[in-house]
């Protein structure tokens, strides 16, 4: 089988002239095959006609016994290349169908990931909008400078702003606020 595989590898390496020569050889073999098939069909028709005439005249002629005699006298070489090539094609078809299934699974997974990403992006944008609204509210309360209850509300708003920071990886690698530096680094 190594020689057959090497032959097919060489066929894949053919240039334009080699492909033309191979096409011509294939056409010639096809003509010879068609001629052989036509002769076989003619022989079958003649045999059927002969068998009918023999039956009409009352003669017996056992076709299966004659066929067995022919097969014993004329041995045929078993086909090797066609079954080998068909098994190779079947293996490739199986591989292609497996890849098709994997591709379909990948596409479904990608659609799920994209839907989840869009959902996370929407949540992040809504959280950012709420954070901006609360920051404006805190700024407004700071400018008013109202004591007591308003200061507590401002502290609560600051805590709420910190809790609304987007946690999605889709928002980006940047942080919306810089990290506080430790007292020792100041």
Structure token digits, residue 157: 């708003």
Which domain covers residue 62, as residue numbers? 7-67
Q: Is residue 139 part of a domain?
A: no
What does the alpha-carbon distance between residue 42 and residue 53 come to, in Å, rounded to a whole number? 17
What does the alpha-carbon distance between residue 59 and residue 50 come to, in Å, rounded to a whole number? 11
Question: pLDDT at position 164, please?
Answer: 64
Reported as a pLDDT band with limits 50, 70 and 90, residue 172 is very low
Q: Is residue 122 part of a domain?
A: no
- The answer on pLDDT for 55 being more than 70 is yes
Q: Is residue 35 part of a domain?
A: yes
- The answer on pLDDT for 30 being more than 50 is yes
Q: Is residue 80 part of a domain?
A: no
Question: pLDDT at position 152, please?
Answer: 67
Q: Is residue 110 part of a domain?
A: no
- The answer on pLDDT for 62 being more than 60 is yes
Reported as a pLDDT band with limits 50, 70 and 90, residue 151 is low
Q: Is residue 23 part of a domain?
A: yes
Reported as a pLDDT band with limits 50, 70 and 90, residue 108 is very high
- The answer on pLDDT for 93 being more than 50 is yes
Q: Is residue 107 part of a domain?
A: no
Most confident segment among 82-86, 102-106, 162-166: 102-106
What does the alpha-carbon distance between residue 137 and residue 158 come to, in Å, rounded to a whole number? 10
Answer whether 163's CB lies under 8 Å from 175's CB.
no
Query: Angle CA(91)–CA(96)–CA(94) in degrees, nearest 5?
Result: 35
What does the alpha-carbon distance between residue 85 and residue 44 come to, in Å, rounded to a whole number? 30
Into how many domains does the chain fold?
Answer: 1
Average pLDDT along the chain: 79
Q: Is residue 164 part of a domain?
A: no
What does the alpha-carbon distance between residue 161 and residue 141 come to, in Å, rounded to a whole number? 15
Place of tokens 């919306």: 176
């Amino acid at each position: 089988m190594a020689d057959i595989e090497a032959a097919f590898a060489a066929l894949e390496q053919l240039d334009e002239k080699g492909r033309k020569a191979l096409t011509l050889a294939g056409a010639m073999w096809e003509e010879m095959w068609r001629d052989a098939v036509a002769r076989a069909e003619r022989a079958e028709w003649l045999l059927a006609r002969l068998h009918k005439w023999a039956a009409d005249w009352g003669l017996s002629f056992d076709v299966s016994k004659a066929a067995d005699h022919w097969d014993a006298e004329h041995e045929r070489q078993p086909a090797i290349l066609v079954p080998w090539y068909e098994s190779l094609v079947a293996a490739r078809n199986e591989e292609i169908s497996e890849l098709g299934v994997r591709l379909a699974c990948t596409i479904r997974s990608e659609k799920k990931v994209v839907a989840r990403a869009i959902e996370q992006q929407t949540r992040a944008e809504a959280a950012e909008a709420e954070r901006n609204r609360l920051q404006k509210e805190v700024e407004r309360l700071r400018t008013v400078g109202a004591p007591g209850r308003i200061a507590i509300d401002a502290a609560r708003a600051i805590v709420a702003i910190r809790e609304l920071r987007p946690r999605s990886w889709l928002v980006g690698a940047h942080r919306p606020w810089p990290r506080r530096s430790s007292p020792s680094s100041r």
